[in-house]
Amino acid sequence: MPKPSPRKGKPITASDIQYLADAAAKGTRADGDSIETSAGTLVARRPETYVALVEFVETKWVARTVGTQLFLYAPAKLIGFSHAGGWAVPRYEGAIVGVWRPWPASVPNGSEIPIGVKRAHAWYDPASSRWIVIDAYENFIECVLDQNLYGCSTASATTRDGDTMDVTDDFGVVTAWRWSLQDDRGYYAPAGTVVLCRWMADRQHWSVFFLKHCLEGSSMSDSQPPSSSGPPSQSSESLPSQSSSAPSESSAPSQSSAPSESSQPSESSAPPSESQPSWSGSDKSSAIVPASWSPTGYVALFIHEMPEVRFDDVMIVQVPQEDHEIAIDPRFVEVCERGTIEVCGIACDKPIAVGARAVTDRVRLRFAEQDPEHAVRLVIRLTGIRRGFAGKRFPRRTREQFLANEAFINSAYPSDPRAE
């Protein structure tokens, strides 16, 4: 199609319009950095967008007003920047650039505001010839608590680089943490706990978002309990029935239907089949104590088995006969899953009606008849799920674990014909 050459005063023809439409279509379909036009091929020069990583050389922003807009300004070392689809470093090592950040708050010109972070991403604005902050380079900083961090409070912490800073529990993360401890000041994450914090520009401090419980280099399948110096931990699920009273009292998933002990099976006896497991294997884990009435001088006492991992406690109190609350031992509260402690028994030394209910860390007493002038003696039994074992009831085990557990229990002491 010939190039249109309309003259002044003459109408534009349909062919002229078609030519211009074709040229526009070619321009929109052009690839690369060139555009095809009716006059030929033009090279398009698009401004390159630079994103840089900068490291601040000061610890505070300085408020500066540019026109009608307030900015925060700070000098920073240019570490590197994007260029031609790759990454480039400054020609001169240690090059310093001015970094700006729009600031919506109203502060006097020249005011200083903490930067908080060490490094940040910045974008070069060609219109203003300024580096504008996009976001912090590390959104979260990992650090270790130097002090106990109580819920909704502040404590000192140290980063992996050795820098010391204050961290604040703005959102009650500590109180909701599963492994938090408790004392008279409330729930807390103990010193030594690893936390992830983020710098909150509006609050101008580091805020705690996450608390770490996993061990270094561990997974959910191979994690082991941390040392006693760290936060409380849960045991591996393969040992859900550890008793806190004695290290030798670990429960067996299969127990004898009768209370008498059975001797260790002979070598000639065949193992029970998988389809028909034996219920007369080892006895339960026991405590062997001296007894004057026993012909051998000793007897066995067996632990109490349950489908859940529970701890029990007994409170013996002398209280006025009136409605009130009594505190549960905070050590018992600490080792139990929060909200699982219940009163499972109560006995009074007088024939009166009394009710009891556990509410967080206290027992609420209600008497049918109020008589505050006289005291009563109460024996209260408490039960609670071991911390870290909530929701575990009749946990699944394998035949291999059953046999290993039987062998472990039977290996506690040798068979003796004088014993029952």
Helix (H) or strand (E) holding 111: none
Helix (H) or strand (E) holding 206: strand 205-211
Per the CB < 8 A criterion, the answer to whether 74 and 99 are in contact is yes
Residue 290, pLDDT > 60, answer yes
As a whole number of angstroms, the distance between CA 122 and CA 101 comes to 9
Per the CB < 8 A criterion, the answer to whether 225 and 234 are in contact is yes
How far apart, in Å, are the Cα atoms of 137 and each of 24, 82, 141?
43, 15, 10
Mean pLDDT value of segment 309-320: 93
Lowest mean pLDDT among 49-53, 253-257, 356-360: 253-257
Per the CB < 8 A criterion, the answer to whether 123 and 148 are in contact is no
Mean pLDDT value of segment 52-80: 87
The reported pLDDT for the residue numbered 61 is 86
Residue 385, pLDDT > 90, answer yes
pLDDT in tens, 35-47: 555 555 555 555 6
Please report the sign of the dihedral spanned by the C-alpha atoms of residue 312, residue 318, residue 322, residue 327.
negative
pLDDT in tens, 331-380: 999 999 988 999 999 999 999 999 999 998 999 999 999 999 999 999 99
Lowest mean pLDDT among 169-178, 194-203, 211-220, 245-254: 245-254
Token pair belonging to 383:
């039960």
Strands 96-102 and 130-136 turn out to be: parallel
